[in-house]
Structure 1
Amino acid sequence: MAPPPRGAGRLLAERGWYLSAREQQEEEEEEEADEDGESAPLLPPPLGSVRNPPNPGSSFGFSVFNLMNAIMGSGILGLSYAMANTGIMGFSILLLIVASLASYSVFLLLSMCTQTAVTSYEDLGLFAFGSTGKVLVATTIIIQNIGAMSSYLLIVKSELPGAVAGFLSGDESGFSNRSWYLDGRLLLLITSVCIVFPLALLPKIGFLGYTSSLSFFFMVYFALVVMIKKWSIPCPLPLHSAIETLQVSNSTGDCKARLFHLSKESAYAIPTMAFSFLCHTSVLPIYCELQSPSKSRMQSVTVTGIGLSFLIYFMSALFGYLTFYDKVDSELLQGYSRYLPHDTVIMTVKVAILFAVLLTVPLIHFPARKAVLMVFFSHLPVSWICHILVTLTLNTIVVLFAMYVPDIKNVFGVVGSTTSTCLLFVYPGLFYLKLSREDFLSPQKLGACALVIFGICVGLLSLVLIIFNWINP
């Protein structure tokens, strides 16, 4: 076994994970047994410790639920727009590729986890490339989490005014210029200051872990409503829309679905999909809590969770696209706000999504703040002052992004093509190439190499096309 990289020895020493030659040999035998489908523990016991009765851990079904809860988020609102710009078949092929590669990259992470006995993405970066790798992974997670929180708060900015107007039985367009309670930016600021920031300040936010699980059921509810409401909005779209009346076409040609479609907006498709399937920072903690943990068992959890998420994503994207066709908005709920502004079911969906957002954003603050403290303030003792200042800074950055970014597709595009592709494709492949003891021509290393190349090429190409689209709208 190759010696650990510089800086990794202290990490192992702190956790009591130095292994003798005999223990290393036993670990390798357990890995081989695990490849044959037998159960292998994630972490070796500390040297000289007495084996305790194993923790029963989380069941298979509950682990699948936790993984799906980590996967599904605001990305579901942008997939119909991605389908409109790639076609039904093109979207299906791309979504299947991204989902399959996400599952494969999780397999690589699990393989490295059994070799290094670490339980966090940052520590894998430490093992692979020393302190530089750890800082790089932590910085990527910070940017990714800021993008995720911004996408959630963009939903608040765009949907909360319509929800308020609907409850008041008023016309949103008629009051937006004179009513403060229909100003999306002001409502965003109020909810961030009064709800998001206080919850994010809490030292422990475990109770929100249970309530935020409701967000998964809200996403499923959203998908079901999208499927049902496909028959509530006629096609061609009605011309008496209260918003952008002159830009709405009533041509029957607009009601034909495209199997394949390519345009400059197609550059947002794969980044949005990568953003939607990113769950890799949660995989290792879920693995640790799994009942009878093994690589094969956790991989089954991953395949099941990603497969069910794929199904929900695809059905909501398909029926959202078949409802609005080429007129679909980059944030799907905006179309329903336009054509069904006072529909009771749509109102319940808006409230459910907004509730999920306001409980999920504080949770995303926690890993982002942890990464900031680890990168920039690791030399300082933990204090309330530092805790408050970092939380306030992160919250301010996120609110400013949400206020002034004009479209949610920009968040999906930029964050998805950079940090999401790195965490989803590039880093797992690079870490496996660095840490695995297999021959370079082995199938797994060739697959890891292909994963890295795919992530870099797709990420760079998408980012260049998105920037070009900004320059030449």
Structure 2
Amino acid sequence: MSINGNENTEVTDETPLLSNQSRSKGASFASSVFNLMNAIMGSGILGLAYAMASTGIVSFCILLVLVSSLAGYSIHLLLKLCDQTGINSYEDLGGRALQKPGKVLVAVAILIQNVGAMSSYLFILKSELPATITSFLSPDHSGQTWYQDGRLLLILVTLCVILPLAILPKIGFLGYTSSLAFFFMLYFAIVVVVKKWSIPCPLPQNLTTFLGVSQVSNSSDSDCTPKLFVISSRSAYAIPTMAFSFLCHTAVLPIYCELDRPNKARMQNVANVSISLSFLVYLISALFGYLTFYAHVDSELLLGYDAYMPHDILVMTVRLAILIAVLLTVPLIHFPARKAVILLLRGNRPFSWLIHIATTVVILGTVLMLAILVPDIRNVFGVVGSTTSSCLLFVFPGIFYLKISPHPLRSFDSIGAMALVVFGLIMGVSSFSIIIFTWIQSS
């Protein structure tokens, strides 16, 4: 990776990333915003309504503003480091700050983060595929059949669809189709708003059979009062879920390099617009999802609609849209995970089909086992969000800035970097500890 000039060279917000170099026209501002939003928006949107139910509306809004603002600030630090060093990858920034251990640490964090993200997507497939198939059957259909077994369907889809796509050495064509994912998420938010007035509160006390399991909804008038502040053991999942939902930092520097007329101020505006629009979609879907089910909201929001309107056209179409987005996104998330593993094991050795295929199978097998064994998607959001997401979002950008930047420790950004590291460590350790303690208690 090239390093441009002296690292102590004065860099301003208007300094172009690739000054004094010939460069073809890059991506437009709008295209870069769209690409970064695709990196931000993901499965986390399905767990934010549960996070709001666990913290209360006011607490949730405060935390969401805090996490999104810190995400924007940590991107600001990464962009400054990129301009100061000429480095345009997260792993290489880790290597510059902490030598080889730093590069390995970042690569491991990215691997775990992507495995967690893929697990959350496969969990969605496991829970939503049977519901999708059942919704297209007649209401009189009863009995348990093979296509209502989410684990079996997940194995079949992984072997027949995801594995063939992930094993390809190049998968650029999926980059275009994955752009549909944002529109699917926007459509999901719209459906959540519309369906707020389709499900009454208190929830009807009817016996429903969902995926072969009888469920009774017990709800009273008191459950229809929104809670502004909530403190419970479930609250420990809130910030990790938000951190999981806003993590896009591994994509920021590549998008910066592809930006037309790249400079820090322009890319920071791209990040601010992307985070603000994602914040709006997240907040709307979480708020109206919570105001639909209140304390009975499921950790995977779509499951709540399955129990009360399994054959509703809008719910069926949004579920199908989410499933398509998941199927197209998993192979893309797999690519950087496999790259991290191969770099850790083989360095820069020549391409080997044997290593390529073996690594693909091992990673997908691990992700598949996690998705099958994990009973609740909130566990994925909680554990991954409190560990690797908090490191990549808060801790690493702060530490790298303090190690690389020539600015004094009393400068504004150095103090901000220290605050970012402290917040990330406190949030990650406390949330992870409470989650583990909750698991021990429940077992």
TM-score if structure 2 supplies the norm length? 0.97
Conserved 8 A contact 1:237-1:248: yes
Structure 2 counterpart of 1:446, one-letter code: I
Structure 1 counterpart of 2:9, one-letter code: E
Q: Is residue 185 of structure 2 the alignment partner of residue 219 of structure 1?
A: yes
Partner of 2:104: 135
Cα distance per residue 1:183-231 (max 9 Å; x no partner): 0000000000000000001111111001011011000000000000000
Q: Which aligned pairs between 1:60-99 and structure 2 lie closer than 5 A? A: 60-99=29-68
Return the match for 1:42 from 9, 17, 20.
17
Q: Which aligned pairs between 1:159-178 and structure 2 lie closer than 5 A? A: 159-170=128-139, 174-176=142-144
Structure 1 counterpart of 2:425, one-letter code: I
Between the aligned residues of both structures, percent identity stands at: 60
For 2:300 and 2:215, locate their aligned partners in 1 and report how far apart those are by CA, in whole Å: 21
Q: Is residue 422 of structure 2 the alignment partner of residue 453 of structure 1?
A: yes
Partner-residue secondary structure (3-state), 1:254 = helix
Partner of 2:258: 289
Q: After TM superposition, what 4+ stretches of structure 1 lie above 6 angstroms from structure 2?
A: none
| CA shift for structure 1 position 56 | 1.8
For 1:442 and 1:301, locate their aligned partners in 2 and report how far apart those are by CA, in whole Å: 25
Partner-residue secondary structure (3-state), 2:375 = coil
For 1:192 and 1:291, locate their aligned partners in 2 and report how far apart those are by CA, in whole Å: 38
Partner of 1:55: 24
Cα distance per residue 1:18-52 (max 9 Å; x no partner): 64xxxx39x824x1xx33xx3x221355xxxxx43
Cα distance per residue 1:54-85 (max 9 Å; x no partner): 32211111111111110000000000000001
For 1:103 and 1:139, locate their aligned partners in 2 and report how far apart those are by CA, in whole Å: 23
Partner of 2:127: 158
Partner of 1:187: 153
Partner of 1:28: 9
Unpaired runs of 5+ residues, structure 2, are: none
Q: Is residue 338 of structure 2 the alignment partner of residue 363 of structure 1?
A: no
Return the match for 1:396 from 365, 376, 392.
365
Partner of 1:234: 200
For 2:318 and 2:166, locate their aligned partners in 1 and report how far apart those are by CA, in whole Å: 25
For 1:175 and 1:309, locate their aligned partners in 2 and report how far apart those are by CA, in whole Å: 41
Structure 2 counterpart of 1:180, one-letter code: W
Structure 1 counterpart of 2:235, one-letter code: S
For 1:389 and 1:87, locate their aligned partners in 2 and report how far apart those are by CA, in whole Å: 46
Conserved 8 A contact 2:118-2:333: yes
Conserved 8 A contact 1:82-1:269: yes
Partner-residue secondary structure (3-state), 1:242 = strand
For 2:47 and 2:270, locate their aligned partners in 1 and report how far apart those are by CA, in whole Å: 26
Aligned pairs, number: 439
Conserved 8 A contact 1:44-1:117: no
Conserved 8 A contact 1:429-1:451: yes
Return the match for 1:346 from 315, 319, 332.
315
Aligned residues: CA RMSD: 1.5
| CA shift for structure 1 position 171 | 6.3
Unpaired runs of 5+ residues, structure 1, are: 1-10, 46-50
Which of structures 1 and 2 has the bigger CA Rg? 1
| CA shift for structure 1 position 167 | 1.1
Conserved 8 A contact 1:175-1:182: no
Conserved 8 A contact 2:396-2:421: yes
Partner of 2:386: 417
TM-score if structure 1 supplies the norm length? 0.90
Cα distance per residue 1:342-385 (max 9 Å; x no partner): 00110001100000000000000100000000111226432111
